[in-house]
Chains A and B, each alone.
Chain A
Amino acid sequence: MRNLALCTALVALTACPAEDPGTTDSPTTAPTTDQTTTDTTDGTDGTDTTATTDVPTGTTDTPTGTTDEPTGTTDPGTTTEGACIDIPGIDESGCEPLATDYQPRENNSADDEWPACVSDTGPYTLVDSPPSTIARIVAYENIADLLWRKADPTADDFTAARNEYVLPEGLESRLVRREDLHYPAIPEDEWDPQVDADKQCTVEALAAKYPERCVGPSGMKPLVDEAFAAGQAGEGDPNIHAARIHGGLLWFLYLSVYKEANTCATVAPKDCDSAWAYYTGGEAIDAPIGMGAEVNTLSANAHERIHDGILATRCWRDIAQDMGNYPLLEELPADQQDLFEQGWEQLDQGLHRGYAVIVRDHMQQYIDAACSSAETNVLWAFLQVAGPVLDREAEERDAAAAADLTGLWSAESPAAEDVAKGIAALDAIFPCP
């Protein structure tokens, strides 16, 4: 993975060696071919480049992470005009699952390493009754209709959307306690003994002390609140506020799928259903709403791989049961614990890529907007929220490329070329679901 990332981060469109599956915890990519190089004249601050960016164009039959040809230049200090760069579409045709992945779409999982389970033959099977999460995703859709799926939402739209957001037991109620399980857990000796293990971020002092882990209260909540308030007050550009809310809520959904898949094993089996519903909105794989719909529109493969990951955790939950009872992870033998980690990791990889393609799409829109001298600030507002979410994982996979991305997100109004480089870096770091 690291080799591939480095290669593409430099936007050197040469053939990159395929990853050795044995060296990564993500699915493999097929060898890249037919790529041309890009002249990386500038790669520093991402805004003041004046040189032509020789990114390739037009190829769609190669793995993502590359652009094919230079399409224009960027004036110093501007990002909204004169930067027409063709960005190739997403292509994951070369991506292949790991041998350890759960693959229900391939011969009903008969050929993979996973034992037979309830997920093998088809749609997601609920552990319990339909989860309350579904209503939160419906609320997300309602908010989307009010704010970012329409132009210039009014202050009343923001108020209506915020009413959806703060509904009892709704999005806000979960967002304010959301943990990012990618970060180290709060040390147990600091836990509030009156609070459940998975709700420690409801303790204000802990949320303040561990802001990365307690990203809901420390990061998402202020961001979303401020954007709603600004929109309601009619301050500034409403589309920017809407974009920031979109970014914040998408971030929440992305982390929630991952979190619920974990607590399905460690806290409550029905959380598997929540993981599924946070992603699909409780709908079938071919007609998801919420984050699932956004991923599916951009990459059906990534969408299906995420769904495979969700089915993997559900499959594990089915396997790790005892006559209808679901023992928690810590009570299970090591091999079953390992199997859970395997499925959960599969889901994580899918989610990274799925989330990345949404970010990537907005980056591409940014470049297109810049090309046509359209407004880019709304897209950038989204990206400044949604983009840094991937920094931690990017840093783990490829520190250099991650640094480029981090630098990009901190820019005020980057040049299209820099964004294009960002796309390349993103594709390199997160090439496959």
Chain B
Amino acid sequence: MPSQTGPKGPVPEGPSAPTAAPTAAPTKLTKEATEQARTVGRTTVRDTRAQATHDTRAASVVTRRDLEERLPRSAPDALRFEPGVYVQQTAHGQGSPFVRGLTGQQTVMMFDGIRLNNSTFRYGPNQYFFTIDSRTLQKLEVLRGASSTRYGSDAMGGALLATPIDPSLELGGPRGWYGHSKAMMRTGTADGEIGGRAQLDVGYKGKVGLFGGVGYRDVGLLRAGGKLLSPSTGQPVKSPLFAADGVTQRGTGFREFTADARLVYQVNDKHRLTLGYYDYRQFDAPRTDRCPPVTAPQSECLTYDEQFRTLVYGAYDVHDGPAAAESVRWTVSYQHQHERRRFDRGPDSTYRIIGRDEVYTIGTGLNIGTKKFRLARGVDFQVNYGLDAYFDTLRSHAWNTFLDVGITTPTTSQYASGSRYLTSGVWTEARLGLFDRVELRAGGRGSLVVAQAPGNLDAMVGRRPIDQVWGGGVGGGGIAVRLVDGLRWITNLDQGFRAPNLDDLTSRQATGAGQQYENPNLRPERALSLETGFRIERPRIELQLFAFQSWIDRLITRVRFDRDQCPPEDVVCGAAVYNVTLANIVGTSHIRGVDGAVRLFLPKGFGMRATAAYTWGDGPNPVTGLDPVRVPLSRIPPLNGTVEINWRHRLGFFASSALRWARPQTRLTETDKNDQRIPQGGTPGFAVLDLRAGYRLQPHALVVLVLENVTNAAYRYHGSSINGPGRGANVLIEVGF
């Protein structure tokens, strides 16, 4: 594929920028395949503007180019510059994006249309979005606000949609074969990261393509800019534990191995088959706030020995089908999530507590789109509809090993082993276009969720069996009105819901807020999300600004419970310093705020992008009758935002500066105050400046240097165990052929 570099000079951004012609692309490829052929398998990714799949919603996209130039450490890290997204980290090898104030099980994660959420996603932040290898992604899309009509249970705060890189499907050489390889090496000074990936993109005559790679990285202890001071005491925050140098954070670092393969068979212009395999294996990732806990011997550590996720799926895509099914995407997937946790006290430990959980998920999803029917002059109508079903089976084990005598005994597992969980639904969403000015959207979903878990009525365990079925419907709709060219007013009203999962119903685990116990009586939580705002798409400016409010009924949140509610003989429950359980809060909780982004396309290759988000949440006091009547919701992000200024030259040079900032968050709920991750009095604000520069020699080389946190600020994203990286350099070198 020839280079896309043009004449010397800055690269104009935006739609006025010349869109390079895919000169070597096969003529009979679909539009998507052509786009892939233009962008993939090389070091060059030259997007103009990234369009969100959900054009009439509050949404934003991280492109491949963004990923290459920002050098995020992970998929969650890649979302730090998206409006309304705030990324919390309980560990260096973990990251959990908050979308409009909700995270983890209250958001949904999709990978190429496959649901990643399973029934063990716990309340609050989790590590699972980290198990997507950002090096395999073509784009990441964030859909803000409730979206359960389309994505089912959990999509209350929003949806995180990851799209992997496809094979390029080129015509190939004289014999029809083509092949491109790429090697990339990355290193960072703040955490001693060193790693790389080897990647191959091969195909035959634009019909068959295979894209895959293997990656590895070894990440060391993370250095911060320094210790954080508690806003209320002025004293250094005690979690995490720092090494003697005062900047190296204990309980950080991990190793990671990834492998992926994506085989695409373009049957013809209309039909495509895809087989995908994505394997993520993380090793030795300590949970920072428990490595060690602030009150324990300093050798104590809870480590995720193994955090694996294997996804295998097949997809069948149809384009230009019959009117009722002009586009079809059907997926069948299998996912295995494996977790192995280890608690001990280092090499001198006399015992070790191990927990191992396996979640096996089979799933299917069908997404059909009709053609756009013209009902009348200027009136068109289009419907998407589909179904999805994901079925989990769970195995959970725990045991103690007494290292000094080599004896191992089983103990109570985190989950009820043998539990099963089904989440499923049928949905439809219709769009009505009126005179190229108004777009109406309306849809609904019928859901069925089944949870079954065996009980263990041993007094020491006291787990009740679960056999719950929840059915119900959600709906949503919206209107987008083109006020003038390039300016639209958008209003959406969508419902979200989350049925309790196996983690809520059966799990017992140590959390940041205390020892958590299951609540088998939970009911689904439901959200109604209203957003209204404007989108501007003009040659020199893109802007989106939304105000939103979510009403959440029966919000599931952690509440404290007394020890007399513990199973009678369960001394683990009784021994916990602070016991929590999940409960539906009676009444309505509110999350409201404003988020938006503006992007300017300036002359001479310059550009600027800024984001800001403000979120405010409160709900009824979980303890009825206690003052205050309403309390803050847990871990709501503070006012935060970003500013990026960039410059690009046609010769392939680029440079940018990026500022991330956040105000202090001092509105804490009771569980926040008991959470060692949150400093006494709240999390201080911060401003962190990154500088980036790079050179892209298409299609053979890419070199990127990011100087992060150039002022060496000590900072922390609210709710995190770790402070952000201190001053350091990250370097990426890619070589492609």
Pairwise interchain contact A203-B574, C-beta atoms closer than 8 A:
no
Bitwise, A134-172 to B at CB < 8 A (1) or not (0) is 111011001000000000000000011011101111100
- Contact of A168 with B515 at beta-carbon distance under 8 Å, contacts A193-B236, A229-B404 already known: yes
Pairwise interchain contact A166-B563, C-beta atoms closer than 8 A:
no
Bitwise, A114-130 to B at CB < 8 A (1) or not (0) is 00000000000000011
In the complex, what distance in Å separates the CA atom of A225 from the CA atom of B563? 29
In the complex, what distance in Å separates the CA atom of A132 from the CA atom of B580? 13
Closest to A232 in B: B405
Query: Is A217 part of the binding interface, using a Cβ–Cβ cutoff of 8 Å?
Result: yes
Within 8 Å CB of B571, what residues of A? 135-136, 138-139, 142, 164, 167, 170
Pairwise interchain contact A135-B575, C-beta atoms closer than 8 A:
yes
Q: How many A-B residue pairs have CB under 8 A?
A: 102
Pairwise interchain contact B409-A163, C-beta atoms closer than 8 A:
yes
- Contact of A173 with B241 at beta-carbon distance under 8 Å, contacts A167-B575, A232-B405 already known: no
Within 8 Å CB of A129, what residues of B? 562-563
Pairwise interchain contact A225-B294, C-beta atoms closer than 8 A:
no
Query: Is A23 part of the binding interface, using a Cβ–Cβ cutoff of 8 Å?
Result: no
Residues in A384-428 with C-beta less than 8 Å from chain B: none
The residue from A130, A136, A203 contacting B562, defined by CB atoms under 8 A apart: A130
Within 8 Å CB of A136, what residues of B? 571, 575
The residue from B295, B351, B563 contacting A202, defined by CB atoms under 8 A apart: B295
In the complex, what distance in Å separates the CA atom of A203 from the CA atom of B227? 19
Pairwise interchain contact A196-B353, C-beta atoms closer than 8 A:
no
Pairwise interchain contact B573-A135, C-beta atoms closer than 8 A:
yes
Pairwise interchain contact A176-B297, C-beta atoms closer than 8 A:
yes
Closest to A231 in B: B405
Query: Is A204 part of the binding interface, using a Cβ–Cβ cutoff of 8 Å?
Result: yes
Within 8 Å CB of B626, what residues of A? none
Query: Is B3 part of the binding interface, using a Cβ–Cβ cutoff of 8 Å?
Result: no
Within 8 Å CB of A138, what residues of B? 569, 571, 574
A-B contact list, 29 entries, CB within 8 Å: A129-B563, A130-B562, A130-B563, A130-B564, A134-B563, A135-B572, A139-B575, A159-B402, A159-B409, A162-B400, A163-B400, A163-B409, A166-B353, A168-B353, A168-B510, A168-B572, A168-B575, A177-B296, A194-B238, A202-B292, A202-B295, A202-B298, A204-B297, A204-B299, A225-B350, A225-B404, A229-B350, A229-B402, A232-B402
Closest to B294 in A: A196
In the complex, what distance in Å separates the CA atom of A310 from the CA atom of B350? 34
In the complex, what distance in Å separates the CA atom of A27 from the CA atom of B515? 43
Bitwise, B283-302 to A at CB < 8 A (1) or not (0) is 00000000010111111000
In the complex, what distance in Å separates the CA atom of A117 from the CA atom of B575? 29
Bitwise, B503-523 to A at CB < 8 A (1) or not (0) is 000000010000100000000
Query: Is A233 part of the binding interface, using a Cβ–Cβ cutoff of 8 Å?
Result: yes
In the complex, what distance in Å separates the CA atom of A225 from the CA atom of B405? 10
Pairwise interchain contact B351-A162, C-beta atoms closer than 8 A:
yes
Query: Is B711 part of the binding interface, using a Cβ–Cβ cutoff of 8 Å?
Result: no
Query: Is B407 part of the binding interface, using a Cβ–Cβ cutoff of 8 Å?
Result: yes
Within 8 Å CB of A164, what residues of B? 571
Residues in A186-208 with C-beta less than 8 Å from chain B: 193-196, 199, 202-204
Query: Is B177 part of the binding interface, using a Cβ–Cβ cutoff of 8 Å?
Result: no
Query: Is B268 part of the binding interface, using a Cβ–Cβ cutoff of 8 Å?
Result: no
Q: How large is the interface on B (under 10, 10 to 19, 20 to 34, 35 or more residues)?
A: 35 or more
Pairwise interchain contact A195-B564, C-beta atoms closer than 8 A:
no
Closest to A224 in B: B350
Pairwise interchain contact B574-A134, C-beta atoms closer than 8 A:
yes
Pairwise interchain contact A202-B296, C-beta atoms closer than 8 A:
yes
- Contact of A232 with B407 at beta-carbon distance under 8 Å, contacts A139-B575, A167-B572, A194-B236 already known: yes
Within 8 Å CB of A159, what residues of B? 402, 407, 409
In the complex, what distance in Å separates the CA atom of A170 from the CA atom of B575? 6
Q: From residue A234, how far is it (CB to closest CB) to chain B in Å?
A: 9
Q: From residue B514, how far is it (CB to closest CB) to chain A in Å?
A: 9
Within 8 Å CB of B574, what residues of A? 132, 134-135, 138
* A positions within 8 Å CB-CB of B: 129-130, 132, 134-136, 138-139, 142, 159-160, 162-164, 166-170, 173, 176-177, 193-196, 199, 202-204, 217, 225, 228-229, 232-233
Within 8 Å CB of B572, what residues of A? 135, 167-170
Residues in B550-609 with C-beta less than 8 Å from chain A: 562-564, 566, 569, 571-577
Q: From residue A146, how far is it (CB to closest CB) to chain B in Å?
A: 13
Within 8 Å CB of A232, what residues of B? 402, 405, 407
Bitwise, B120-134 to A at CB < 8 A (1) or not (0) is 000000000000000
In the complex, what distance in Å separates the CA atom of A109 from the CA atom of B575? 33
- Contact of A204 with B298 at beta-carbon distance under 8 Å, contacts A129-B563, A134-B563 already known: yes
- Contact of A162 with B577 at beta-carbon distance under 8 Å, contacts A167-B572, A169-B572 already known: no
* B positions within 8 Å CB-CB of A: 227, 236, 238, 241-242, 292, 294-299, 343, 345, 350-351, 353, 400, 402, 404-405, 407, 409, 411, 510, 515, 562-564, 566, 569, 571-577
In the complex, what distance in Å separates the CA atom of A132 from the CA atom of B566? 11
Q: From residue B719, how far is it (CB to closest CB) to chain A in Å?
A: 20
Pairwise interchain contact A173-B296, C-beta atoms closer than 8 A:
yes
Within 8 Å CB of B350, what residues of A? 225, 229
In the complex, what distance in Å separates the CA atom of A204 from the CA atom of B345? 11
In the complex, what distance in Å separates the CA atom of A202 from the CA atom of B572? 22
Q: From residue B690, how far is it (CB to closest CB) to chain A in Å?
A: 28
Pairwise interchain contact B238-A195, C-beta atoms closer than 8 A:
yes
Closest to A139 in B: B571
Within 8 Å CB of A225, what residues of B? 350, 404
Within 8 Å CB of B576, what residues of A? 132, 135, 168-169
Pairwise interchain contact B564-A166, C-beta atoms closer than 8 A:
no
Closest to B562 in A: A129
Q: From residue B731, how far is it (CB to closest CB) to chain A in Å?
A: 32
In the complex, what distance in Å separates the CA atom of A109 from the CA atom of B577? 32
Within 8 Å CB of A132, what residues of B? 563, 574-577
In the complex, what distance in Å separates the CA atom of A232 from the CA atom of B402? 9
In the complex, what distance in Å separates the CA atom of A136 from the CA atom of B572? 9
Closest to B563 in A: A130
- Contact of A229 with B294 at beta-carbon distance under 8 Å, contacts A132-B563, A169-B572, A170-B572 already known: no
Q: From residue B341, how far is it (CB to closest CB) to chain A in Å?
A: 12
- Nearest 10 A-B pairs (CB), nearest first? A135-B574, A135-B575, A135-B571, A169-B575, A229-B404, A232-B405, A202-B297, A139-B571, A225-B350, A229-B405
In the complex, what distance in Å separates the CA atom of A142 from the CA atom of B569? 10
In the complex, what distance in Å separates the CA atom of A195 from the CA atom of B298? 10
Within 8 Å CB of A168, what residues of B? 343, 353, 510, 515, 572, 575-576
Within 8 Å CB of B404, what residues of A? 225, 229
In the complex, what distance in Å separates the CA atom of A139 from the CA atom of B400? 16
Q: From residue B413, how far is it (CB to closest CB) to chain A in Å?
A: 13
Within 8 Å CB of B297, what residues of A? 176-177, 202, 204, 217
Within 8 Å CB of A204, what residues of B? 297-299
Closest to A166 in B: B351
Q: From residue B579, how far is it (CB to closest CB) to chain A in Å?
A: 8
Q: From residue B260, how far is it (CB to closest CB) to chain A in Å?
A: 37
Q: From residue A155, how far is it (CB to closest CB) to chain B in Å?
A: 8
- Contact of A162 with B298 at beta-carbon distance under 8 Å, contacts A135-B575, A169-B576 already known: no
Extra pairs beyond A139-B571, A204-B298 (14, CB < 8 Å)? A129-B563, A136-B571, A162-B402, A169-B572, A176-B297, A199-B295, A202-B292, A202-B295, A202-B296, A217-B297, A229-B350, A229-B402, A232-B405, A232-B407
In the complex, what distance in Å separates the CA atom of A105 from the CA atom of B574? 30
Q: Which of B236, B295, B571 has the most CB of A within 10 A?
A: B571
Closest to A169 in B: B575
Closest to A198 in B: B295
In the complex, what distance in Å separates the CA atom of A353 from the CA atom of B402? 36
In the complex, what distance in Å separates the CA atom of A196 from the CA atom of B241? 12
Closest to A217 in B: B297
In the complex, what distance in Å separates the CA atom of A203 from the CA atom of B299? 9
Within 8 Å CB of B227, what residues of A? 194
Q: From residue A157, how far is it (CB to closest CB) to chain B in Å?
A: 12
Within 8 Å CB of A217, what residues of B? 297
In the complex, what distance in Å separates the CA atom of A16 from the CA atom of B550? 81
